[in-house]
């Protein structure tokens, strides 16, 4: 049952960081292991957006696709990811973006997951663990690139 949680202080506003993480279609451009991401459906209601997305991750010869429900709540700067189907027994992922003064924010990233198959877990587990630890850094680097000079 790997679990990872981190808080990072970044030099971008909470609104910009939220927008960057909420732009899930761009993940294959910069996120470790993410090879493809497809939005199956998108619904908006009460100021929230609900996505159903398929993400394909890969490492060497191993490829896995899983489906998640992504709830985007812009007013609260919150992103909650609920696992639907794929190689995991469960996956719980949350992002929060809090004001940290002077155009900065604190990015809180949490993920908890377990593979259904112990063999797949043994093959991909340590690689996933490393990748998830790099996620928040990847988003910060992406923000630095996109918002440079803005």
CATH number attached to the domain at 3-146: 3.30.530.20
Domain ranges of the chain: 3-146
What are the tens digits of pLDDT across the range 98-145? 999 988 999 999 999 888 888 777 766 677 777 777 787 899 999 999
How much is the pTM? 0.90
Q: Is the pLDDT of residue 20 over 80?
A: yes
3-state secondary structure the chain: CCEEEEEEEECCCHHHHHHHHHCHHHHHHCCCCEEEEEEEEEEEECCEEEEEEEEEEEECCEEEEEEEEEEEEHHHCEEEEEEEECCEEEEEEEEEEEECCCCCEEEEEEEEEEECCHHHHHHHHHHHHHHHHHHHHHHHHHHHHHCCCC
């Amino acid at each position: 049952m790997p679990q990872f949680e981190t808080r990072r202080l970044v030099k971008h506003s909470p609104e910009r960081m939220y927008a960057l993480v909420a732009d899930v279609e761009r993940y294959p451009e910069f996120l470790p292991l993410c090879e493809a991401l497809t939005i199956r459906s998108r619904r908006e209601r009460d100021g929230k957006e609900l996505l159903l997305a398929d993400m394909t991750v890969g490492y060497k010869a191993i490829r896995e696709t899983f489906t998640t429900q992504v709830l985007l709540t812009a007013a609260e700067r919150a992103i909650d990811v609920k696992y639907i189907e794929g190689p995991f027994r469960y996956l719980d992922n949350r992002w929060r973006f809090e004001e940290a003064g002077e155009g900065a924010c604190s990015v809180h990233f949490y993920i908890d997951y377990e593979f259904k198959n112990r063999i797949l877990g043994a093959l991909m587990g340590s690689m996933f663990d490393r990748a998830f630890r790099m996620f928040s850094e990847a988003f910060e680097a992406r923000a630095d690139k996109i918002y440079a000079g803005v």
